[in-house]
Amino acid sequence: MGDVHRAYFLKKLRDWKESIIEESRATMAQLQVDSLREPDLADRASSETDWSIELRTRDRQRKLIAKIDAAIRRLYDGEYGYCEVTGDPISLGRLEARPIATMTLEAQEKHERVERVSRDD
């Protein structure tokens, strides 16, 4: 992977992270503005359910930020774009689709097959 590709993926990862952080800020601001003191019990339950879903989404995104940070570290360490299992280069198409990918498509598929078999046991 050349310098141009590294710079491209670094910008893509940083922009993605900033977008997630901005969404999180908006959610927190909205939580502070909105009151869950709905007069109707059904409305209150609906609001609480909506916020519960939103907070679960934010938790998943928090975990995604950790993966983005790990990808950025790999970029700086020169390990980005290489499979953590085989050491083979990860295709640019896969990295474009999933910039936090740590395995080649073949290694990921094998990992998922093994995971599925062990889960079925």
pLDDT score of 37: 63
Flag whether pLDDT at 35 surpasses 60.
no
Q: What is the CATH number of the domain that holds 69?
A: 1.20.120.910
Residues spanned by the domain of 56: 3-120
- The amino acid sitting at 96 is E
- Does the model's pTM come out above 0.85? no
CB 111 within 8 A of CB 103: yes
pLDDT band at 99 (very low <50, low <70, confident <90, very high): very high
For the stretch 6-23, pLDDT in tens is: 999 999 999 999 999 998
Three-state helix/strand/coil letters over 5-61:
HHHHHHHHHHHHHHHHHHHHHHHHHHHHHCCCCCCCHHHHHHHHHHHHHHHHHHHHH
Domain tally, the chain: 1
